[in-house]
Amino acid sequence: MELNAVHREIPPRIDGYGDTSGKLFEGAFARHPSGYRSGARMRSFTPNSGSKLSGSIKDAIKASGLKSGMTISFHHHLRNGDYVVNQVIKSCAELGIGDLTIFPTALFEVHKGIIPYIKSGVVSRIMGSVNGAIGRLVSEGGLGSPVVLRSHGGRPRAVISGDVHIDVAFIAAPTADRAGNISGQMGSAACGSIGYAFTDAEYADVVVAITDNLQSYPISPVSISGIFVDLVAVTDFIGDPAGIVSGTTRVTRDPLRLLIAKYASRLIEASPYFMDGISFQTGAGGIPLAVTSFMREAMKRRDIRASFGLGGITGYFVDLMKEGLVQKLMDVQSFDLEAARSIASNPDHIEISADWYANPWNCGAAVNMLDVVILGATEVDVDFNANVNTEADGALLHGIGGHQDTAAGAKLTIIAQPLTRGRIPCVVDRVHTVTTPGDVVDAIVTEFGVTINPKRIDLLDACVDFAASREIPLIPMDELAAKAKSMCGAMEPIRTTDRVVAIVEWRDGTVIDIVRQLEKQVS
Amino acid sequence: MELNAVHREIPPRIDGYGDTSGKLFEGAFARHPSGYRSGARMRSFTPNSGSKLSGSIKDAIKASGLKSGMTISFHHHLRNGDYVVNQVIKSCAELGIGDLTIFPTALFEVHKGIIPYIKSGVVSRIMGSVNGAIGRLVSEGGLGSPVVLRSHGGRPRAVISGDVHIDVAFIAAPTADRAGNISGQMGSAACGSIGYAFTDAEYADVVVAITDNLQSYPISPVSISGIFVDLVAVTDFIGDPAGIVSGTTRVTRDPLRLLIAKYASRLIEASPYFMDGISFQTGAGGIPLAVTSFMREAMKRRDIRASFGLGGITGYFVDLMKEGLVQKLMDVQSFDLEAARSIASNPDHIEISADWYANPWNCGAAVNMLDVVILGATEVDVDFNANVNTEADGALLHGIGGHQDTAAGAKLTIIAQPLTRGRIPCVVDRVHTVTTPGDVVDAIVTEFGVTINPKRIDLLDACVDFAASREIPLIPMDELAAKAKSMCGAMEPIRTTDRVVAIVEWRDGTVIDIVRQLEKQVS
């Protein structure tokens, strides 16, 4: 066992993953690439190449040349309304194709439909976030190979660097034409941005668009050009609109969470970044949205306009843009109907790829331009390390998302959450899993105030006046941790076997932590 | 010497180009790629990577690491108004950098400014079209290495396949931000589409955007993302608007050319492609625009709407879209102010890259979807081979443009031009240079009528009714060639030395012809 830079013991070799030597996490910005991107397979199409159209997913799979043992990819913009992953896996099973590695950008509860195929060996490996039932299955040892977790930026990095080779990419296409041009902005399964799918289209050996809305050539706008798409499968429904985009996302009304949001907002106001041109990412959670709401008031009060909002975009941000408080939106995933409508109609609402959003190995992802990000975590520790992957019982239930990328990129990374959830502390001595190193986390905001990473002396200084007036109660990490301990008592240690069920990669491809199999629950 | 498929003698080895064995033209669709695209150099940028901005082109060149002997690329959307090429070459000279290979998408008259630097060895090789004074210089042996001519689709193919490796790409950016996001749609040097620059940005080792209009991050829309751009050089002027976009292009008023346009239009009407959803490319020449004008009338008369117009786009096409006669425009180069304005405001006016436009080695370029293209040529021969590169005196004065690509892609390729220009015949027994093989040329239209390639029996059949009514006078190739001969008399043969001054590549990278140095003119 070797220790990486966040003091995690990493086995020198992990079955189903490989050697970890030379791949241990060394620091948030320690690893740099050399050499060249892994190029996509060259093709040639002529006017006589024939039609790309298939009448069914199964026919497209046959035409793709997919074989047992290969790697297939999916994107998750259809979220919990996605019909594509389950249909593709089922079709593979029916075609006798097995031992597949699936490489989704994320899986949702709806994808528990593939559990029987995990059990039967159709799917033998998962590289991507596993939530809900699949996460539970993995945590308890139900998958032969460990899951590999990557951030939204780490995933395209893995593809361009050749760490992951996609044999066949299946791209859910809310609208497509016969040449394979794809847009997420029209059709009954419209989801807005399809930013996560860009890299898959550009690098996979074979690219299959799956659509329920085939339109005349050429569609416009085009998000992914047909020059990357080999096959177009036409099917009845690619998704359930109700599961794809939620109604307008709402700010929390819980007084505790509003208090946390208020503290976080004050911290931003006190920071040197609160000036004309500030940029921020807040995602779709209740607390972050409330922070946005408080910031909206503060921006109006102090006559400040933000330059851009980034990441997964909600209707709340769309409203800020309409009000003139935010000038641009950079959207890798449109969370709700408002956002999906906006990206289809407003040129200042820019669709960005995951590469553009967060890849550390290009000429500068959008996260590098970010001033402030508000994040959550299942727990943080006294070193400010954050865990977003495992729950208090040690079960692997969440993906990394853009957590690592935005924390590394933003000038001010805030984790805002209640100190306890039920009897579970959110601040601990040592997180069960390190997703994001404390080095890139600047502040923890709880209902007890603001806890600033001691390395950010500048931030502490900036908060002095606010702290004096109690608008920002400052609480040092040791006090916060002690408070959590006194409220929750000692926690039962999580009992695991030695078997590694998941590898958490830092966005640069190094191993920041591993997740071990849970001991069989006696229930 | 070996003969290629269009009966051209190609030396087995050409100094400054290399071996031609295995690279002889074998047919329009004969060569297919294997293996993988040549990947771009990987980079990593962090929030602490520092600024991409340079205060001058010279500083950016220094920062780029450009060295003598390297290959640098340019795009030509600023056309005859471009200040960038000349400034970069001059700066290289001042920095003591020489022996450069330049890889422009095209050069214009304005670029004769680099001739002193060709003579002094700063520029030692050109891969790209050479016009006017530079073409004359090359034809007379003034460049040490042969020029390599590629089509708009052949150029990105050469890059993705690794035939050409770009060390530093210099991208004229009418608008950019500090992260290197680029758009051609705003700024005083606005040129509309910057489609030719995409591949350079995606594949060069180092990418330098040169802008005179630095705007706040993030600009919108973005044509080329800053994730591909290493450096942003800010300069006073990147171009002269008067030379970048012309005023609205005009249909010819010359009765002879109008007659030719009328015949071409009738041929299209007679073809099986003249129905709802027809697509076409006509470029900016006087005859093609007149064809468009006649087609406009015909479409109205027969209640037909075109699906898209392709290629270099003019205001004339914008009007057709406004009238509802064309649904979409796919624009790799906006020829005039109207087109530049339209692409900036109409989502149905789609910016496409040269890769998307014409590359034969992707999953299907837009040219493959084309029904009809109207082209010109300096001469065609009795085998329907077309020459667009050399003039009657053998001088290399024109690039290939999209000629090869659209001829290969379109269902109906028409070359429309007067039979003679002055005393020079445009139909000959054997063209001096084969740019595009007769295999993909379907009809020659002159003032004497329509000459259909005998392999297109279907087209001949389709024209029978029109021919009977004399709306389409049909004239066989041998008669047409005889007519040209009787009008112009015997031409002096072009006298050349053995030295090869240019290689004409077919779009698939094979050698379709070579151009030899002219014998010294006695003048």
CATH of the domain at B92: 3.40.1080.10
Task: Indicate whether A8 belongs to any domain.
Answer: no
Longest dimension (CA), chain A: 75
Q: How many residues are recorded in chain B?
A: 523
Evaluate whether residue A510 is within a structural domain.
no
Whether residues A194 and A334 share a domain: the answer is no
Residue A106 lies inside a defined structural domain of this protein:
yes
For an interface test with A, which of B31, B42, B52 has the most A Cβ atoms less than 10 Å from its Cβ?
Answer: B42
pLDDT at A465: 79
Closest approach of chain B CAs to the CA of A447, in angstroms? 30
The answer to whether residue A49 neighbours chain B at the CB level (below 8 Å) is yes
Residue type, A429: D
Handedness of CA B427, B431, B432, B436 (dihedral sign): positive
**In chain B, which residues have their Cβ closer than 8 Å to the Cβ of A364?**
45, 49, 52, 179-180, 226-227
Q: What are phi and psi of B275, to 5 degrees?
A: -155, 175
Q: Whose structure tokens read 């009448």? A: A55
Q: Which residues of A touch B228 (CB under 8 A)?
A: 362-363
> Exposed, middle or buried, B15 (CB in 10 Å: 0-12/13-18/19+)?
exposed
DSSP state of B261: H
Examine the domain organization and report whether B124 and B153 are in the same domain: yes
Q: DSSP for A80-129?
A: GGB-HHHHHHHHHHHTT--SEEEEES---GGGGGGHHHHHTTSEEEEBS-
pLDDT band for position A422 (50/70/90)? confident
Kindly state whether residues A267 and A311 are assigned to the same domain: yes
Tell me the average pLDDT across B380-385: 98
Residues A502-510, mean pLDDT to the nearest whole number: 98
One domain for residues A233 and A286: no
Nearest CA in chain A to B232: A363
Closest-CA residue in chain B for A308? Answer: B218
Contacts of A217 in chain B (CB under 8 A): 307-308, 369
Chain A positions in Cβ-Cβ contact with residue B372 (cut-off 8 Å): none
- pLDDT for B477 equals 98
CA distances from A188 to A118, A184, A235, A243, A339 (A): 30, 10, 13, 12, 15
Residues A357 and A476 in one domain: yes
Identify the helix (H) or strand (E) that includes residue B139: helix B132-139
Mean pLDDT of chain B: 95
The mean pLDDT of A458-481, rounded to a whole number, is 90
Interface membership of A350 toward B (CB under 8 Å):
yes
Contact B47 A227 (CB under 8 A): no
User: Do residues B4 and B23 touch, judged by C-beta distance below 8 A?
Assistant: no
Do B200 and B180 lie in a common domain?
yes
User: Is A73:A107 a contact under the CB 8 Å cutoff?
Assistant: no
Answer yes or no: is B284 within a domain: yes
Separation in Å, CA B223 to CA B188, B197, B226: 17, 10, 10
Whether pLDDT at B132 is above 80? yes
How high is the ipTM of this complex? 0.97
Report DSSP state, residue B320.
H
B454 touches chain A (CB under 8 A): no
**How close A107 comes to chain B (CA, Å)?**
27
Strand partners, A54: A233
Alpha helices, H only, B360-519: 403-409, 457-468, 477-488
Query: Within a domain: residue B416?
Result: yes
- CA A78 to CA A172: how far, in whole Å? 8
Show which of residues 85-144 on chain B sit within 8 Å of chain A, judged by CB atoms.
none
* Closest approach of A442 to chain B, Cα-based (Å): 15
Its pTM surpasses 0.90: yes
Q: What are phi and psi of B38, to 5 degrees?
A: -75, 115
pLDDT tier, A522 (very low <50, low <70, confident <90, very high otherwise): very low
Among B residues 425-444, those touching chain A with beta carbons less than 8 Å apart: none
Same domain, A238 and A279: no
Please determine, for residue A205, whether its predicted confidence score (pLDDT) is greater than 60: yes
CA-based angle B449:B453:B458, to the nearest 5? 100
- Residue A220 contacts B where some CB pair is shorter than 8 Å: yes
Res B252: pLDDT: 82
**Total of domains in chain A:** 2
Q: Which two tokens mark B295?
A: 């087609």
Instruction: Read off the pLDDT of residues B287-343 as tens digits, 9 standing for 90 and up.
Output: 999 999 999 999 999 999 999 999 999 999 999 999 999 999 999 999 999 999 999
Burial class of residue A275 in the structure, from the number of CB atoms within 10 Å of its CB (0-12 exposed, 13-18 middle, 19+ buried)? exposed
State which of A215, A244, A273 marks the end of a domain.
A244
Q: Are residues A107 and A209 in the same domain?
A: yes
- State whether A369 and A308 are in the same domain: yes
From chain A, pick out residues whose CB is under 8 angstroms from the CB of B29: 46, 48
Domain residues for the domain of A143 are 51-244
Residue where a domain terminates, one of A244, A276, A298: A244
Question: Do the beta carbons of residue B287 and residue B260 sit within 8 Å?
Answer: yes
Chain B contact for A215 (CB, 8 A cutoff)? no
| Number of CB pairs, chain A paired with chain B, less than 8 A apart | 184
Q: What are the φ/ψ torsions at residue B349 (nearest 5 degrees)?
A: -100, 100
Determine, for residues A42 and B33 on separate chains, whether the beta-carbon distance falls below 8 Å. Answer: yes
Mutate to test the interface with A, among B363, B368, B371, B506 (most CBs of A within 10 A): B363
Residue with tokens 């958490």: A504
Residue B523: its pLDDT value, please?
A: 44
* Mean pLDDT for the stretch of residues B139-155: 97
Inform me whether the pLDDT recorded for A76 exceeds 60: yes
Do residue B216 and residue A40 have CB atoms under 8 angstroms apart? no
Asked whether residue B379 is domain-assigned, the answer is yes
Considering the domain architecture, whether residues B320 and B348 belong to the same structural domain is answered as yes
Do residues B410 and B371 lie in contact, with contact meaning Cβ atoms separated by under 8 Å?
A: yes
- Are the beta carbons of B52 and A364 separated by less than 8 Å? yes
How long is chain A? 523
Distances in whole angstroms, Cα of residue B18 to Cα of each of B146, B484, B508: 11, 38, 17
* 3-class secondary structure, B263: helix
Confidence (pLDDT) at B521? 60
- The tens digit of pLDDT for each residue in B70-117 reads 999 999 999 999 999 999 999 999 999 999 999 999 999 999 999 999
As given in the structure block, the two tokens for residue B76 are 């030509």
Domain assignment of residue B413, yes or no: yes
Q: Is B297 exposed, middle or buried (0-12, 13-18, 19+ CB in 10 A)?
A: exposed
Q: Which residues of chain B are within 8 Å of residue A37 when distances are taken between CB atoms? A: 39-42
